[in-house]
Structure 1
Amino acid sequence: MLYLGLKYLHVIAAIFLFGFGMGSYLYLIAASRTANPQVIAHVARTVVRYDAWITTPAGFIQIATGYWLVSLAGLSLTTGWVLTSLIIFLCVGMLWLPVLVLQKRLQHMASSAADRGEGLAQAYRRVYRQWFWMGVAGFSGMFVIVSMMVTKMTPGEWVGLFLS
């Protein structure tokens, strides 16, 4: 029963991590497309808040429950799909802090422009592009991790299936 409870918590945390993360990402993209500093400032403030309150804690829950599940299942952390998912999770996690910092900068830049009654500066677009492509990389990694959790296989093993 402990294993199933942990697995449930692990899956729910993954849904929150992925779902809130993707929702925040898409909302800030949509807001940025308006080029309206007031809209962007409001959405960015909300995105930063939810990423801090929901997405980040879900990531820590993922780490704790994942480790516990691996231990209870009698698996080694060096099992192919486990190790690969950990490496990708750490890489995605290393993108997370810079993404949060960039989101906060986007919020500040949009708020400043709105307060001055001006449009967005070129610097906003530069920071936005960095943030956007870091998001693409991070979510690509998350897609791979979820696929490994479901299949219990590494991407190399997937390729082997298709080639055989």
Structure 2
Amino acid sequence: MLYLCLKYIHVIAAVFLFGFGMGSYLYLIAASRTANPQVIAHVAKMVVRFDAWITTPAGFIQIASGYGLIRLAGLPLTTEWVLTSLIIFLCVGSLWLPVLVLQKRLYVMASNAIETGGGLADEYRSVYRKWFWMGVAGFLGMFVIVLMMVTKMTPVQVAGLLL
């Protein structure tokens, strides 16, 4: 019963991590496409808040619940799909703090544009592109991690089955 409860928590945390993360990502993309500093500032403020309060804790819950599941299942951390998913999770996680910093910068730049009554600074597009591509990399990694959680196989093993 403990295993099933922990698995439920793990899945719910994955839904929050992926769902809130993807929702925030798409909302900030849509806001940025308007080039309206008021829209961007409002959305970026909420994205930073949701990512700090919901998505980040969900990531820590993923680590704790995943570790508990591995222990209860009696699997070593060196099990190929476990180790691969941990490595990818750490890579995705290493993008997280810079993404939060970039989101905050986008918010500050949009807020400054509102205060000065001008348009967005030229730097906005550059910061936005970095943020965008880090998001693409992070979500690709998350898709792969979910694949491994479901199949208990590495991407190479899954590809071998399909070919």
TM class by shorter chain equals over 0.9
CA-atom RMSD, angstroms? 0.5
1:18 aligns with 2:12: no
**Secondary structure of the corresponding residue to residue 78 of structure 2:** coil
2:118 maps to: 118
Q: CA deviation at 1:162?
A: 2.1
**TM-score normalized by the length of structure 1:** 0.98
Distance 2:83 2:5 in 1: 23
2:142 maps to: 142
Correspondence list, 1:44-55, <5 A? 44-55=44-55
Structure 2 unpaired stretches of 5+: none
Runs of 4+ in 1 over 6 A off after TM superposition: none
1:101 aligns with 2:101: yes
1:68 maps to: 68
1:81 maps to: 81
Spell out, residue by residue over 1:99-132, the C-alpha distance to the aligned partner (whole angstroms, 9 max, x if none): 0000000000000001111111110000000000
**1:27 is matched by which residue type in structure 2?**
Y
1:129 maps to: 129
**TM-score normalized by the length of structure 2:** 0.99
- The share of aligned pairs that are identical, in percent, is 81
**1:125 is matched by which residue type in structure 2?**
R
